Amino acid sequence: DAKTTQPPSMDCAEGRAANLPCNHSTISGNEYVYWYRQIHSQGPQYIIHGLKNNETNEMASLIITEDRKSSTLILPHATLRDTAVYYCIATHSGGYQKVTFGIGTKLQVIP
């Protein structure tokens, strides 16, 4: 898996968009970018993944730069329930492959 770099913590006001950056400058052409989050005292939860196109689902949007060296996870309207540690992972396949978790970004949504 390619190494990923994330800020250790971020704050976001409730109702505003949370933009979580991730650097993965050594990502290879067939590695996907995955995002998981871990709410306190729970198991990690899959959010979204992408290869090179921007992706959107009911939880979030994923913006990947054209050179694929970085990406941004966007939570469009952050709520208090979005307070969690967010992990950005670059891997060939998230389902059948082991997942290597980094430190992640601790997102605190503030009322």
Partner 1 sequence: SAVISQKPSRDICQRGTSLTIQCQVDSQVTMMFWYRQQPGQSLTLIATANQGSEATYESGFVIDKFPISRPNLTFSTLTVSNMSPEDSSIYLCSVGLAGTYEQYFGPGTRLTVT
Rounded CA-CA distance 102/15 in Å is: 27
Cβ contacts of residue 39 below 8 Å, gap of 6+?
45, 81, 83, 84
Q: Which of 7, 10, 21, 44 binds partner 1 (CB under 8 A)?
A: 44
81 binds partner 1 (CB under 8 A): no
Q: Which of 2, 10, 14, 46 binds partner 1 (CB under 8 A)?
A: 46
57 binds partner 1 (CB under 8 A): no
Q: Are 49 and 94 in contact (CB under 8 A)?
A: yes
Question: Which residues bind to partner 1, rule: CB under 8 A?
Answer: 32, 34, 41-46, 49, 87, 93-104
